[in-house]
Structure 1
Amino acid sequence: MSAGTLFIVATPIGNLADMSPRALDTLRQAAAICAEDTRRTGQLLSHFGIATSLVALHEHNEDALAQRLVERLLAGDSLALVSDAGTPLVSDPGFRVVRAARAAGIKVSPVPGACAAIAALSVAGLPSDRFVFEGFLPAKASARREQLARLAGETRTLVFYESSHRIEESLADMAATLGADRPAVMARELTKLFETVLDGDLAGLQARVASDDNQRKGEFVVMVQGAGDDAAAQLTEGKRVYALLGQHLPPSTAAKLAAEITGAPRKSLYGS
């Protein structure tokens, strides 16, 4: 018996009309659907009249389940993998199953569709020729600020996911760490009834969210313009690298290496 195929199926991020005909056919014909939340996916399947059985696949059982799924695929079953919404594996479980399937020589085929990060970037009006996707920032404030500090000199557009529980705090930390006047866009509830896309600078977005309860509800994509490729950006990155190297090297050596790595003036780093 020939092996089956593992289909990675994107589902809508809000508007069910975004479900593609190919995705529907794939979900109907699969032997089973691996879903992060079987209740949520069950509602989606019910809407479209699909009766395919579901297998719960989430971060807590993915390692244990991967080999069993590979065995089903090798036995000839074709399986579909979905996340709660959007494109699987983008800040969602699934890569371990995909890696195990590919290692076993099984065909893994994408069924493309919605992705919140790409949808948001397409309407943001920020540079999109080069960007870096950072997913969710750490929940703890100290770890979140450390992560943002590491990104302060990044010249590509930054793309983050955030929840309603932390959006206000995350915007405040972004403004403090990346710069209050850094251009940014916040997309909320994309493709849903209360979709909003707000732009301005980080300080302005933070103030807008703080003053409006509605802007703290839903699911968020926050996009921040990268640091300019100029002397100020080089100095910011140089100081960050110098601080890291300075934990292990003499100041003069750390400054010399940081300057070589980032292009920042050595004299501006030494003793900073």
Structure 2
Amino acid sequence: MTGTTGTLVLAGTPIGDLADAPPRLAAELGSADVVAAEDTRRLRRLAQGLGVRVDGRVVSYFEGNEAARTPELARELESGARVLLVTDAGMPSVSDPGYRLVAAAVELGARVTAVPGPSAVLTALALSGLPVDRFCFEGFLPRKPGERAARLREAAGERRTLVYFEAPHRLAATLAAMADAFGGGRRAAVCRELTKTYEEVRRGPLDELAEWAEAGVRGEITVVVAGADPAAGSGDAPDAAELARRVAEREDAGQARKEAIAEVAREAGVPKRQVFDAVVAAKRS
């Protein structure tokens, strides 16, 4: 330690394939005074896989203790330590612990730097086949259906490509909610187990992806959704009466109402909820 304000190093870790670890990661693991890890057991396995010995003090730094441990790590920085922050996969602070510590380090005047590494967000975006010139990262959606639906409604008009993280057991419900909020025909890609043995990228309209996910999906999931079509709000979309008429025509031909609503929503490029509301309003009138 130097006795002057130290350095905080944010280190990217592999999201799947250990061979993707940046060369500087091993050097930082071996030289840091303190290593703050989201999971200390995974840190040990990572160090072993890289063939490096961690001589610095290792502490846990995860969602449950992030607020309490940040002042302790800030004191280490204040005393001149080189503190290395690693999470289970990808870059710290991107839907992972890290923001509080970065803010504390900046407040102290400590140097903050990074070891760039793999990113599930950028990898999924690049593989999605969707526009990459402008995008926004939305992280994890709320778990409660009502809060999730509200968040998605807020994003329905966003023209930039959207990137989300999701747990596999909630994927089907999330894709269905996205189809309802954005329209079943909105293009999307589900990226699963990126850089791992069973990597898979499933592309298609949201309603088809939601149906596919109902059978169950495993692994780490990143969902990429196309932004809203600027022409959608130009006044060319059918009004409620027209939407209801199209559904009625399909029902008269023997199609189930749920299927008719989904089909009309996809063709019109509007959320299924909008078509459903139009049908209800038509029945009332």
Q: Per the shorter chain, which TM-score range? A: 0.7 to 0.9
The answer to which of 170-179 and 63-72 deviates more is 63-72
Say which of 207, 212, 218 aligns to 2:211: 207
Q: Which amino acid aligns with 2:47?
A: L
Q: Are the equivalent residues in 1 in contact too, given 2:29–2:53 (CA < 8 A)? A: no
The reply on whether 1:40 has 2:42 as its aligned counterpart is yes
| Unmatched segments (≥5 aa) in structure 1 | 237-272
Q: Distance in 2 between matches of 1:67 and 1:155?
A: 40
The reply on whether 1:139 has 2:143 as its aligned counterpart is yes
Tell me the equivalent position of 2:32. 30
Superposition pairs of residues 32-71 of structure 1, within 5 angstroms: 32-52=34-54, 53-71=57-75
Tell me the equivalent position of 1:177. 181
Superposition pairs of residues 79-90 of structure 1, within 5 angstroms: 79-90=83-94
Question: Cα RMSD (Å) of the superposition?
Answer: 1.6
Q: Distance in 2 between matches of 1:231 and 1:161?
A: 26
Q: What TM-score does the superposition give when structure 2 sets the normalisation length?
A: 0.78
Q: Distance in 1 between matches of 2:148 and 2:190?
A: 18
Q: Are the equivalent residues in 2 in contact too, given 1:153–1:233 (CA < 8 A)? A: no
Q: Which amino acid aligns with 1:229?
A: P
TM-superposed deviation, 1:45: 1.5
TM-superposed deviation, 1:231: 4.7
TM-superposed deviation, 1:60: 2.1
Q: Distance in 1 between matches of 2:26 and 2:235?
A: 49
Superposition pairs of residues 97-246 of structure 1, within 5 angstroms: 97-211=101-215, 213=216, 216-232=217-233
Q: Distance in 1 between matches of 2:149 and 2:98?
A: 28
- Relative to structure 1, the CA distance from residue 160 to residue 58 in structure 2 (aligned partners, 3 Å threshold; closer, same or farther) is same
Q: Distance in 1 between matches of 2:174 and 2:234?
A: 22
- The secondary structure found in structure 2 opposite 1:230 is helix
Count, aligned residues: 233
Q: Distance in 1 between matches of 2:78 and 2:95?
A: 27
Structure with greater Cα Rg: 2
TM-superposed deviation, 1:63: 1.9
- The secondary structure found in structure 1 opposite 2:169 is coil
TM-superposed deviation, 1:91: 0.4
Q: Distance in 1 between matches of 2:226 and 2:75?
A: 45
Q: Which amino acid aligns with 2:224?
A: M
Q: Are the equivalent residues in 2 in contact too, given 1:153–1:234 (CA < 8 A)? A: no
TM-superposed deviation, 1:50: 2.9
Q: What TM-score does the superposition give when structure 1 sets the normalisation length?
A: 0.82
Q: Which amino acid aligns with 1:60?
A: G
TM-superposed deviation, 1:171: 0.6
